[in-house]
Amino acid sequence: MVIYVDPKLIGRRNFEKLEKLYPYIDIVTDVINKSEIEVLFTMPQIVKEMNISDYPKLNWIQYLMAGYDGVDLDLLRKNNIDFCNAQDIFSKSIAEDVFSKIFYFNRNINYYLQCKKEGKWEPIREEPELSNSTVLILGVGSIGKELALRFKAFESYVIGFRSRNIEAKHFDEIITENEELNIALQKADYVILALSLSEKTKYFFDKEKINMMKPSALLINVARGKVVNQEDLYKALKEKRIRGAGLDVLDPEPLPKDHPMWKLDNVYITPHNASSSPFMRERLYRMIVMNLDLYLEGSPVKYKLN
C-alpha cells in the first residue's frame, strides 16, 4: 500500500512517527508514482491540479485543512473516492482569534498603544461590553460551535445561520432562511463569518447585508475573503456605516501593500493566520492516525464530505 503524506504541515517529527507506527505501509512525500497511491493526506494544490485518471488506485483523500473550496466533490464521488477535511483541528485557535479581534475594538487597544508611545493618560470611560450582547454566527460547523461555547461564557444570545434546521449546542437560535438572516443582522452586535466558500456563498455578504447591520456592530471574517464583497465592505467602513471589521481573510491574498483597506482606522487585519497554534501539528497527526486506523480496518472514516 502506498500513501502520500504532505510533511510540511504535520512537521518532520510527526512524519517520522508515522513511518515507525506503520512500517508495513509505503509512506511517500511526493506524487511521482501516481498510479500506486491509494490515499492522499494533502494540501489543496495536488487535489485541485490532479487528473483523476492518473490515480487508478486512489480510494480516499484526507485534506490537512478545513476549507475545501475549489474541490469537485461530485467528481470524486462519481469516481468512488472519499473526501474528508480536517475538522476540529483549527477551530479552537480560530475561535480565540475572533475574540482577539472583538477585544481589539471593544477595549480600544490601538488607541491605548498609541497613548503608551506618547506617554498619555487619557482613559475612555464607556467602552463596549461583550456581556449580554447578541451574536450572529454564519456557519455552524466546528468553528461556529467553538465560538458559541465561548460566547455563552459572556452571557451572549447566540444565533446560528446554517443551511439545515438542525439544533446545535450553545446556540440559542438556529435560522436557515434569508429573511430570518436579514432580521438577525439588524439585531446583532457582532456578526461572525465562519462559512465555507462555495458558489452559493461567494460574495454572499454584500452591500445589502452590510447595510442591515447596526452602526455599532462589528463584522469578523474568519471564513474566506471571497465570502464578502470586499468593495462593498470597504465603502461601508470608510463611511463608518458599521463600527469596524476584524479580517483574517481578504480578497486577494496577500492583500497588496497599496490597497486602501490598510489605511482604514476601523479595520484590524491579520494575514490569514487565525489558526496559528503550537498544537496544530499534533492535532493533525492524531487525526491522521485516527482516520488511517479506521481505513485500514475497513471502517468508515470520519469527516467525509462527499
CATH number (3.40.50.720, 3.30.40.230, 3.30.413.10, 3.30.1380.10) of 91-269 reads: 3.40.50.720
Question: Residue 163's closest CA among 209, 219, 201, 213?
Answer: 201
The residue from 107, 241, 259, 272 that is catalytic is 272
pTM over 0.95: no
The residue from 19, 129, 155, 253 that is catalytic is 253
The model's confidence at residue 290, banded by pLDDT at 50, 70 and 90, is very high
Q: What number is the average pLDDT over the span 234-251?
A: 98
Q: Helix 280-296 and helix 12-21: axis angle, to 10°?
A: 20
Has 150 been annotated as catalytic?
no
pLDDT confidence of residue 21: 97
> What class has domain 2-89+278-296?
alpha beta
The residue from 224, 243, 281, 283 that is catalytic is 224
Decide if pLDDT at 306 tops 90.
no
- Is 156 strand, coil or helix? coil
Q: 8 or 82, which is more confident?
A: 82
Decide if pLDDT at 70 tops 90.
no
Has 253 been annotated as catalytic?
yes
Q: Helix 91-106 and helix 142-152: axis angle, to 10°?
A: 50
**Percent of the chain residues past pLDDT 90, beyond the cut:** 94
The verdict on whether omega for the bond into residue 260 sits within 30 degrees of 0, i.e. cis, is no
CA–CA distance, 288 with 84 (Å, rounded to integer): 11
Q: What number is the average pLDDT over the span 10-35?
A: 95
Every domain range in the chain assigned CATH 3.40.50.720: 2-89+278-296, 91-269
Q: What number is the average pLDDT over the span 223-232?
A: 98
pLDDT confidence of residue 48: 86
pLDDT digits (tens, 9 = 90+) for 128-159: 999 999 999 999 999 999 999 999 999 999 99
pLDDT digits (tens, 9 = 90+) for 80-91: 999 999 998 999
Has 129 been annotated as catalytic?
no
pLDDT confidence of residue 35: 96
H/E element holding 221?
strand 218-221
Q: What is the mean pLDDT of the chain?
A: 96
* Contact call for residues 140 and 171 (beta carbons, < 8 A): yes
**Percent of the chain residues past pLDDT 70, beyond the cut:** 100
